[in-house]
Structure formats: C-alpha cells, structure tokens
C-alpha cells in the first residue's frame, strides 16, 4: 500500500502524496464518459492507497462529481475529496462555452451543487479553479471563508493563481493548497509558486504530472487523438514538437531503468521531489492506477536531476506551457 503522506492545513488526517485526478472520468475533452470504468478506477485507486480524489464541476459539467459521489458511496472507506469552483458554462450550439466566474453568488451555488453531487455534508478541499479578472479576489475569498465557517468546507485552495493574487486571497481567508501544472516538461512554477508554497506552509497539488499521458511511456509518433480529445489541439502533441517530446521520453525511460522503474513512476517521483507536493495521477481505467506504489520508497539522485535538465536542453529547449487550456473571462 502507498504510505507516503502529507498534511493539508485544515484536514486532520494525512493524505496520500498521489491523488487521483478525475478530469477524464467526467468525459468532457477526453472522448466521452465511461461511468462503470470510472467507478472501478476510483475503487482501484483507493485499494492502491490513494485517499485523495480531485475533481471539479466543469469536468463533464457536473458528471465527474456525480461519478465520484457514487463511487465513494458504494465503497466504505475514508477518502477525502478536493473539488473546485469558479468556472461557469453555457450552451453554444452543440458545445458548452466555459468561462471564469467567481462571483460570491456563483460560489455559494457551486458549493451547494457540489455537496449534492458528491453526496457529502462537507467538502474537504474547495479550490478556485482559475482567477476571475472581473471579480475582486477578496470578494471571492470572503464568500469562501463564510462557507468555511458554516462548516461546508474544511480547507481552501486556489488553482492557476499568481503569488500576487494569492497574497490578496490570504488577507481574507486561509490558503491551504495551490494547484498549478507541474511535470518534467512544464516547470515554470519552480521560479515563484514552489517557493511561495514553502514560505506560506501551503501544499502544492500538481496537475498534469504525466503531461496528459505523454510521460506514460505508451505513446509513439503514430499515436493520434480524436477531435473530442483535448490533445488533438495541445501543441505538444502536434508534429514536429511531438517527436521532440517523444525523444526526451525515450531518454527518461533509460534514466528510469537505472532504478528499475517505469518512466511513469520516474516522472511522478520527480514531481514529488520538488517540495511539499501532491501529484495528481489522472486515470479513467482501473489498470491506469496500477504502479502507484512504484513512486514511493526512493528518490531521484542529483545525477538524475542533472540528466533530466540535459535531456530537456537537447530535445525540448523551448518547452510549451499549458496556457492553451486557460478558459476566457466571462463576457
């Protein structure tokens, strides 16, 4: 069983340093939902020792939360749920248009909706998904603090916020977690977010630890994605960039082999070695959570870290940030 844990301020029990990410389970931008496999995946993650499930209303427009709620209701255990708010959506033709919306009334409605879908009385960790440039951050934080004081939320976090934005939030409400992208290819938070988390006793929830499956070791130059999959528009997965990233992954595999580990385990271990970090492990099939325990019980050496930097400098000198996923502000 995975035993490597960390404490999130506001949550009494330590949580696993690998959390299950459930964006794909919601189906949206991942080729549609598969609920039975999603439920089995959540149960398999718990059996592997994962006790933190990360979800969001926008993952399938409520569907991911509903699947998480159903899965947790069916399996007696003690697992913690992290969800998010601050994204709204409206129908445009056959698609949903997503936009940022952290107005206090929207926040309160989202919390009530999440409680219902998740089938819980208290949300363990509630996070603002993206900063809303049209709503003052202190107004959003004040409403979250009220909900925290009402017992509907145990801990508060933010996602995709800058240090300056987090300073404004912290003047009004306690900030327990920060959720930015972090993986071997997406490392911009090393400059500011990671030091900020360490200084202010916040835990990083690193999303994209496997870089949308690129670091799973299962892709090759012939791998393609349907239009309903966000990777069909992710610049990393388009030639000739895709070939550069795959060449780096091949060399990461060689580094991982020195530890008798898969490239997947190596990639997640690298994330955990960056500081007070929980790695989000996205999955939608039970077999995709096997190998979680290979992440624990070892660390990368200084030679490994230098080799990683050398591989990136040779193959991906101009790494692409995941900014293509940022939703727009509301009209």
Confidence category of residue 326, pLDDT binned at 50, 70, 90: confident
The mean pLDDT value for 277-293 works out to 92
- Our CA angle for 60, 64, 66, nearest 5°, is 115
The mean pLDDT value for 104-125 works out to 97
- Residue 139: its pLDDT value, please? 98
- Residue 29: its pLDDT value, please? 54
The mean pLDDT value for 119-125 works out to 97
User: In this structure, is the dihedral angle defined by the CA atoms of residues 127, 270, 233 and 235, taken in order, positive or negative?
Assistant: positive
Q: Mean pLDDT for the chain?
A: 92
| Separation between Cα atoms, residue 230 and residue 240, nearest integer Å | 18
- Residue 331: its pLDDT value, please? 79
Say what percent of the chain tops pLDDT 70: 97
Between residues 257 and 224, the one the model is more confident about: 257
End-to-end CA distance of the chain: 48
Q: What is the pTM of this model?
A: 0.93
- Residue 117: its pLDDT value, please? 97
Q: Inform me whether the pLDDT recorded for 3 exceeds 70.
A: no
Six token digits for residue 140: 């959003």
| Separation between Cα atoms, residue 231 and residue 225, nearest integer Å | 6
- Residue 24: its pLDDT value, please? 83
Residues 232-273 pLDDT 10s: 888 999 999 999 999 999 999 999 999 999 999 999 999 999
Six token digits for residue 13: 């029990």
Least reliable range by pLDDT among 21-30, 70-79, 188-197, 302-311? 21-30
- The CATH architecture to which 5-325 belongs is Alpha-Beta Barrel (3.20)
The mean pLDDT value for 54-77 works out to 91
- Residue 78: its pLDDT value, please? 82
- Residue 27: its pLDDT value, please? 58
Q: Inform me whether the pLDDT recorded for 1 exceeds 50.
A: no
What residues are labeled active site?
59
Helix H, strand E, coil C: the string for the chain is CCCCEECCCCCCCCEECEEEECHHHHCCCECCCCHHHHHHHHHHHHHCCCCEEECCCCCCCCHHHHHHHHHHHHCCCCCEEEEEECEEEEEECCEEEEEECCCHHHHHHHHHHHHHHHCCCCEEEEEECCCCCCCCHHHHHHHHHHHHHCCCEEEEEEECCCHHHHHHHHCCCCCCEEECECCCCCCHHHCCHHHHHHHCCCEEEEECCCCCCHHHCCCCCCCCCCCCEHHHCCHHHCCCHHHHHHHHHHHHHHHHHCCCCCHHHHHHHHHHCCCCEEEEEECCCHHHHCCHHHHCCCCCCHHHHHHHHHHHHHHCCCCCCHHHHCCCECC
- Residue 158: its pLDDT value, please? 98
- Residue 26: its pLDDT value, please? 73
Whether a cis peptide bond, with omega within 30° of 0, leads into 240 is yes
Q: Inform me whether the pLDDT recorded for 76 exceeds 80.
A: no
| Separation between Cα atoms, residue 188 and residue 244, nearest integer Å | 19
- Residue 228: its pLDDT value, please? 76
Least reliable range by pLDDT among 28-32, 204-208, 285-289, 301-305? 28-32
Q: Are residues 308 and 273 in contact, defined by beta-carbon separation less than 8 angstroms?
A: no
- Residue 2: its pLDDT value, please? 39
| Separation between Cα atoms, residue 251 and residue 262, nearest integer Å | 12
- Residue 33: its pLDDT value, please? 65
Q: Inform me whether the pLDDT recorded for 28 exceeds 80.
A: no
- Residue 89: its pLDDT value, please? 87
The mean pLDDT value for 99-113 works out to 97
The mean pLDDT value for 123-130 works out to 97
Residues 90-105 pLDDT 10s: 877 777 789 999 999 9
| Separation between Cα atoms, residue 162 and residue 169, nearest integer Å | 11
């Amino acid at each position: 069983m995975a035993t490597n844990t960390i404490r999130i301020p506001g949550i009494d029990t330590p949580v696993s340093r690998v959390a299950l990410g459930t964006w794909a389970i919601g189906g949206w931008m991942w080729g549609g939902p598969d609920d039975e496999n999603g439920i089995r995946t959540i149960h398999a993650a718990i059996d592997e020792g994962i006790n933190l499930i990360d979800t969001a209303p926008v993952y399938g427009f409520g569907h991911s939360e509903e699947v998480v709620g159903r899965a947790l209701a069916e399996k007696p255990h003690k697992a913690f749920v992290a969800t998010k708010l601050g994204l709204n959506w409206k129908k445009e033709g056959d698609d949903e248009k997503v936009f940022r919306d952290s107005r206090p009334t929207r926040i309160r409605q989202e919390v009530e909706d999440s409680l219902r879908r998740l089938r819980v009385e208290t949300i363990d960790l509630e996070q603002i998904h993206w900063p809303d440039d049209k709503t003052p951050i202190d107004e959003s934080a004040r409403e979250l603090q009220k909900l925290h004081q009402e017992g509907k939320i145990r801990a508060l976090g933010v996602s995709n916020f800058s240090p300056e934005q987090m300073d404004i939030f912290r003047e009004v409400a306690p900030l327990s977690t920060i959720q930015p992208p972090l993986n071997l290819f997406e490392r911009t938070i090393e400059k500011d977010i990671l030091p900020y988390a360490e200084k202010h006793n916040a835990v990083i929830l690193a999303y994209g630890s496997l870089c949308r499956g690129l670091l799973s070791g299962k892709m090759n130059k012939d791998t393609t994605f349907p239009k309903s999959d966000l990777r069909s528009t992710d610049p990393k997965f388009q030639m000739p960039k895709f070939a550069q990233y795959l060449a780096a992954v091949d060399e990461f595999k060689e580094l991982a082999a020195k530890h008798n580990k898969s490239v997947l385990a190596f990639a997640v271990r690298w994330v955990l070695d960056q500081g007070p970090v929980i790695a989000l492990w996205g999955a939608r099939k039970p077999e995709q959570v096997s190998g979680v325990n290979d992440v624990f019980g070892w660390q990368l050496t200084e030679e490994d870290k230098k080799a990683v930097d050398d591989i990136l400098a040779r193959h991906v000198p101009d790494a692409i940030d995941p900014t293509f996923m940022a939703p727009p502000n509301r009209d």
